[in-house]
Homo-oligomer: A and B are copies of this chain.
Amino acid sequence: MPTQFDPPSGTRDFLAREFGTRERAFAQIRSVFAGYGFEPLGTPAFERLDVLMGKYGDEGEKLIFKILRRGEHESSGEADLALRYDLTVPLARVAAAYGSQLPVPYKRYAMGPVWRADRPGHGRYREFTQCDLDTLGSASPMADAEVICAVNDVFAGLGIGGFRFLLNSRRVLAGLLEAFEVPAGLGAGVLTTLDKLDKISPDEVSKELADRGMPGAEAADLVAVMTAADAEQRIRDALKTSEEGSAGLHEVDTVLSLLAGQVPAGRVQFTPRMVRGLSYYTGPIWEVTADGAAGSIASGGRYDHLIATLGGPDVPATGGSLGVERTLLLLPPGGEQDSRLDVAVTVMAEQYAPRSFAFAAAARAAGLRASVYLGASGKLGRQLKWASDSGARWAVIYGAAEEETGAVTVRDMVSGEQVRVPSSGLARYLAEQASQPGGPS
């Protein structure tokens, strides 16, 4: 295509087929969330600039699309609005704005586009769909477990293969640092290095820990425990020496016990080395990996003070975010045909147009998608070609012969068989045909 007609860099047009695939997935997601009592929230595409600034760090801030002031202020070159960068800051604003009108706890989901001026690349867009579910106002691990359970149901419902949850708690991590006597100032760096245990060798991790200033013996000890064959048991034992670690362990075990009956055994794994990049988590954290996916396809956790930091009330909160674009890449092939119509109605001559129009309406009344031929050709072959291109299951033909007998011809576009049906009985005939196996669903 001529590049001047491309959508802007990093954005996409969604023609019918892809639009349909996405919408079906979105409907499935919404339905699961609603099943858990999460309610929808819609917020504007843009926020006031000051609502967004200072929330995403220097690197994030550079990626914000800013909107120029208008009218006499346009020439100032200044911005006063910006496209939303995520769905969390708008949630904090809503929590602040409508506090007392919202139910307690406030369980909401949001799904819609966000915009980031990132360098576009494979699977990375400047306009992409985010999907978040969050519970504000509950400190209970049941709220954490509920989010995980809902995310599990979404992926199971979408037919995603081989997905699993890694579960940890920020308090487990704090307990580990305490148990292994990591100096307070080194904590964050040590955790970042530990998180590499699935990518680099234990020796390299030990060395990196030592480089960060952790005494060599303690570093080797920590890595040995984390990579032992019976790592989980040894970590559990170590955590029990720390109050924070014990609390974290209890949190993880509570979530695991809540999920036990709802999620297949083994799908949720306690993963003490998992850190998750964001610093604001305060309790259970989790992420979802899947066969064939690069990186996680969902993640979340408890973030008890973040909403206050973002300008909202200081409420306990937990939630998760689905990587919608990544997830869509994993959808099993739907086998859906490129069908726009169930019934294609020919128009053999201008004088028959009102009858053809009425036949299409009759087919719609029978619950089928139907339209008349809108082209200029009076040739049946040409019109049947259109019917076939439209993916129609039946063509309805009405011309001089049909007019004479008060009937209408219905052609099965798969078998090529044609039957004459009384004009007044068309809707019923099509409804019957459609209800048979092989008809449109």
Q: From A75-83, A241-249, A401-409, give the one contacting chain B.
A: A75-83
A15 to B110, CA, bound (A): 10
List of B residues within 8 angstroms of A47 by Cβ: 7-8
List of B residues within 8 angstroms of A354 by Cβ: 257-258, 260-261
A375 touches B105 (CB 8 A): yes
List of B residues within 8 angstroms of A44 by Cβ: 7-8, 11-13, 127
List of B residues within 8 angstroms of A192 by Cβ: none
Q: From A31-39, A204-212, A269-277, give the one contacting chain B.
A: A31-39
User: A146 in the interface, Cβ–Cβ < 8 Å?
Assistant: yes
A5 touches B93 (CB 8 A): yes
Shortest Cβ gap from A367 to chain B (Å) = 8
List of B residues within 8 angstroms of A375 by Cβ: 104-105, 138, 140
A374 to B135, CA, bound (A): 9
B372 touches A35 (CB 8 A): no
Q: Which chain A residues in 47-84 approach chain B with CB under 8 Å? A: 47-48, 62-63, 65-68, 70-71, 74-79, 81, 83
A341 and B37 contact, Cβ closer than 8 Å, known pairs A7-B44, A261-B357, A371-B146: yes
Set B4, B97, B127: member contacting A13, Cβ < 8 A: B97
Shortest Cβ gap from A50 to chain B (Å) = 8
User: A420 in the interface, Cβ–Cβ < 8 Å?
Assistant: no
Q: Which 6 A-B pairs have the closest CB atoms?
A: A77-B77, A11-B44, A14-B42, A16-B39, A5-B97, A138-B374
A35 and B68 contact, Cβ closer than 8 Å, known pairs A13-B94, A45-B127: no
List of B residues within 8 angstroms of A257 by Cβ: 353-354
User: A113 in the interface, Cβ–Cβ < 8 Å?
Assistant: yes
List of B residues within 8 angstroms of A286 by Cβ: none
List of B residues within 8 angstroms of A13 by Cβ: 41-44, 94, 97-98
User: A370 in the interface, Cβ–Cβ < 8 Å?
Assistant: yes
B117 touches A70 (CB 8 A): yes
Closest to A257 in B: B354
Interface residues on A, range: 35 or more
- What are 8 A-B residue pairs whose CB atoms fall within 8 Å in the complex? A5-B93, A15-B94, A39-B340, A45-B115, A107-B340, A146-B374, A261-B361, A262-B357
Shortest Cβ gap from A172 to chain B (Å) = 20
Copy tally for this chain in the complex stands at 2
C-beta contact mask, A19-34 vs B, less than 8 Å → 1, else 0? 1101100000000001
C-beta contact mask, A196-219 vs B, less than 8 Å → 1, else 0? 000000000000000000000000
List 8 other contacts, CB 8 Å, given A22-B42, A66-B74.
Answer: A19-B40, A19-B41, A34-B369, A45-B113, A45-B127, A149-B357, A258-B354, A261-B358
From A5, A41, A262, name the one whose CB has the most chain B CB atoms within 10 angstroms.
A5
A14 and B37 contact, Cβ closer than 8 Å, known pairs A67-B66, A103-B340: no
Closest to A32 in B: B364
Closest to A115 in B: B45
B142 touches A353 (CB 8 A): yes
